[in-house]
Structure 1
Amino acid sequence: MIILPAIDIKGGECVRLVKGDYSTAQKVIESPYLAAQRFADAGANWMHMVDLDGAKDAKLVNADLIADVAKSSGLSVEVGGGIRDMKAVEYYLSHGINRVILGSAAVKDQQFVIDAVNTFGDQIVIGIDAKDGMVRAEGWLDNSEINYIELAKRMEDVGVKTIVFTDIEQDGTLAGPNLKQLDSLIKSVSCNIIASGGVAVLKDIKNLIELNAYGAICGKSIYSGSLDLRQAIETTRNS
C-alpha cells in the first residue's frame, strides 16, 4: 500500500478542512513547498494535491502553484480539483503531474471521463466523494442521486483503474476511515482503491492494509502530529 501525504491549496496556502466545509479552512504549514519537502524527507514517493478553489469554481485556479510545488518536490504527484475538460488534464500532465483526479466530471460528464481514459489511460484517476453513501460533486457542495458503489462500477466499466474514495463525514475529523464502506467498495470492483478521509493513527494504516487498499491519503493526521509519516511509510513497506 502506498501512503499519499496531502496538500490542499486554498488562496495559495496549504490548508485543511473539516468535512469539506470551506468555512473551516485552517492554514497548517507556512508554505506548500515546505510541506512537500517534509514529505520527501520522510520517505514518501507520492503526494496528493487538491486545488480547493478549483473544485469550488469548476476551473483551474491554483494550477501553476501546484505544478511548481510538484516539480520542486521530486515526488510523484496526483492532483484533483477543478479538472473539467481535456485542456485542464493536458495542462497538468504536460507540467510533470503523474495522475489527475476527475471528481465532479465522473458524475456530470461521463463522456469526458471516457475520452480522458481512452487518451491517457492509467493517468486518469476518479475521485468518488460520498456522504451517507451518496456521491457529492462540485467541491462537495452538490448532492447527487448516485450510490458510491454504483458510480465505481460505472467507472470500472469505462476502463478506470484507480479510484480515490472519500467519506465526507470522516474527512478532516481524525476519527478513522470508514472501513465498512471501503471494504464494500474494494470487494465490489477490481479498481485500485485509495482511501481518503479520517486517517488519524498508525492503527488506521494497518486496518487499510488488511482491507487490501491500494493507498491511503493522509492530511490532517500528519500536520497535527497524530501520525508519523515516516513510521506509516515503513509500516506499509514491511507489510
Structure 2
Amino acid sequence: MIIPAFDFINGKIVRLYQGNYSNQREYDINLYKRFKDYEIQGVKKIHLVDLDGAKNFKERQVKVFKDLISYTNISIQIGGGIRSEENINMFLNLGVKQVVIGSSVIKNKAEVKKWLRIYGSNTIVLALDVMIRNNNKEIAINGWQKKTNTTLEEIIEYFSPIGLKHVLCTDISRDGTLSGPNIVLYTEIVKKFKHIQFQASGGIATLKDIISLKKSGVSSAIVGRSLLENKFTIQEALKCWQNE
C-alpha cells in the first residue's frame, strides 16, 4: 500500500535532509483537510514521526498526535522515541494501530522481544534505518545521530523466531532527497526475508519510483516529501500501486 508520511518538530510538519536536524524544511499544510481527502481517496494507513521525541523522549508531542488521531478513521502508525511499555500503551490508548520501534531495537533487545510477545507482531513495527557501506547495511539510531555496528540482517534474524512481521527500512542516504529509492536494497532484502512485510522509505520522487518499489516486492511505500511538494497526487500514487 501507499503510506503518506508526516514528520513533526514542535507541532509543525517538516522534512529533514538525510536525517539531519539542522537541515530541515517546514511545510504549511492544512493537515485535517488533507487527512479527510486521504480518507475519501482510500488511503489505508498514515505514518507519523515525532522527531522531537526521537531526539529527546521528554519533548514528545503528545497533544499534536492526540488531536490528529482523534480526527481521522485512517489507521495510524507512529514512531519517534518509543522506548517503553508506557510509551506504547499511551499511543495505543490514543488510537494508534501500530507503533514503530527504532533505537530500542539496538539498545534494549530483550524488551523489544517482550513487546512483540505482549502486543503481537501486527502492532510492533521495527524501524531499521541503514547507512550502506560496501553493502553492509549498518543501523543508525537516536534520530539517526548515532551509528552502530549492527546490521539489518542481524536484527531481522534475531527477532524473526518470535514472530517479527513488519519492518520499516529506510536508506538514510536517500531520505528527503527525492533522488529515488534504493531498489537494489529492497529487492535484496525482500528476496532474503520472505516472511517480512517491508515498508520502503526514502527517496521517492516520481510515479516510476512507486512502480519500481512495487516490483521489488515490498508490501508498502512510505511517501513523504514528494506528496508534500506535489510531485504527484495521492490519487496517482494509489492508482500506480494498484495497477502495477
| Superposition TM-score, scaled by structure 2 size | 0.93
**Match of 2:226, as an amino acid?**
S
CA positional deviation for 1:66: 1.2
Tell me, yes or no, if the aligned pair for 1:168 and 1:197 is still in contact at 8 Å: yes
Aligned residue in 2 for 1:216: 221
Aligned residue in 2 for 1:129: 129
Q: Are 1:51 and 2:50 an aligned pair?
A: yes
- Unaligned runs of 5+ residues in structure 2 are none
Q: CA-to-partner distance for each residue in 1:196-229, whole Å, 9 max, x for gaps? A: 0001111111111111110000000001111221
Distance in 2, matches of 1:172 and 1:201, equals 13
CA positional deviation for 1:99: 0.2
Q: Secondary structure at the match of 1:27?
A: strand
Distance in 1, matches of 2:59 and 2:118, equals 20
Aligned residue in 1 for 2:105: 106
Aligned residue in 1 for 2:96: 97
What does 1:34-73 align with in structure 2 at a 5 Å threshold?
34-59=33-58, 61-73=60-72
* Identical residues among aligned pairs (%): 30
Q: CA-to-partner distance for each residue in 1:127-152, whole Å, 9 max, x for gaps? A: 00011221000000011001122222
User: How many residues end up aligned between the 2 structures?
Assistant: 238
Aligned residue in 2 for 1:202: 207
Distance in 1, matches of 2:33 and 2:7, equals 13
Task: Specify whether residues 69 and 63 from structure 1 end up closer, same or farther in structure 2 by C-alpha distance, changes over 3 A only.
Answer: same
**Match of 1:127, as an amino acid?**
A
What does 1:134-173 align with in structure 2 at a 5 Å threshold?
134-173=138-177
Tell me, yes or no, if the aligned pair for 2:69 and 2:94 is still in contact at 8 Å: no
Distance in 1, matches of 2:6 and 2:138, equals 25
Q: Are 1:227 and 2:232 an aligned pair?
A: yes
Distance in 2, matches of 1:210 and 1:30, equals 31
Q: Secondary structure at the match of 2:190?
A: helix
| Larger CA deviation: 151-160 vs 226-235 | 151-160
Q: Secondary structure at the match of 2:96?
A: coil
Q: Secondary structure at the match of 1:209?
A: helix
Task: Specify whether residues 230 and 176 from structure 1 end up closer, same or farther in structure 2 by C-alpha distance, changes over 3 A only.
Answer: same
CA positional deviation for 1:60: 6.1
Q: Secondary structure at the match of 1:24?
A: strand
CA positional deviation for 1:191: 0.8
When the two chains are superposed, the root-mean-square deviation of aligned CA atoms in Å is 1.4
Distance in 2, matches of 1:205 and 1:199, equals 7
| Superposition TM-score, scaled by structure 1 size | 0.95
Task: Specify whether residues 154 and 32 from structure 1 end up closer, same or farther in structure 2 by C-alpha distance, changes over 3 A only.
Answer: farther
CA positional deviation for 1:41: 4.1
